[in-house]
A and B are shown apart, each in its own frame.
Chain A
């Protein structure tokens, strides 16, 4: 089955700096890669996603890149703000069905 590894497990940045979270996956059948943000005690929320026919996608301060050959994808947050502090999960799935999640990255943005 699919295996998703996520790094780093914790990340601390100064407000205004950029943050990068990286994930690798193992199953070449995976073609849909969503990212979720989970604030403490709340539900995970979809923030951005990318499909395997696209190499990069951007939405305001958030961007995701995908290298299908190397089987890795990354989340980039620019101009970080304290409200970006949360746990971020990457996931991989075939045809947006069952998703396999990474173990999460706890991002702390210091004011």
Chain B
């Protein structure tokens, strides 16, 4: 597609519920990144894929967070047993080698 597409745009989850956030990167972009952005702060790194390989998952806050990109294209970020502190905007970005990010519009997750 022309840009990075994320869905859903908004998600309200009850505490303890599992959620899945989807990212469809720009076709041909090898690198895919997930970031978490709290209100008034800069994006915080979660995890990074090069094709289907997850090269860095050091930013995932806990083992409740899991990401995959099985065919090297679409990626899913899954959060199990959501908690209130998980409320944030989750941004996906893709990039062509050596260039800056193209971000998606993000998924705003609210845990109630």
Contact = CB atoms under 8 A, between A and B. Distances in A.
Nearest to A42: B105
B106 interface: yes
Nearest to B108: A41
B102 A97 contact: no
Name the residue among B42, B55, B91 with the largest chain A CB count within 10 angstroms. Answer: B42
A45 interface: yes
Interface string A46-77: 10010000000000000000000000000000
Interface stretch (A11-19, A78-86, A100-108): A100-108
B25 interface: no
Contacts of B99: 49, 96
A101 B42 contact: yes
B100 A100 contact: no
Contact of A44 (B31, B41, B103): B103
A98 B95 contact: no
A43 B33 contact: no
Contacts of A100: 45
B100 A104 contact: no
A44 B95 contact: no
A95 interface: yes
Contact of B102 (A42, A46, A89, A102): A46
B21 to A, nearest CB: 15
Contacts of A6: 42
B42 A104 contact: yes
Given A44-B91, A45-B103, A46-B102, A97 B48 contact: yes
B56 interface: yes
Interface of B: 31, 33, 35, 40-45, 48, 55-56, 58, 91, 95, 97-106
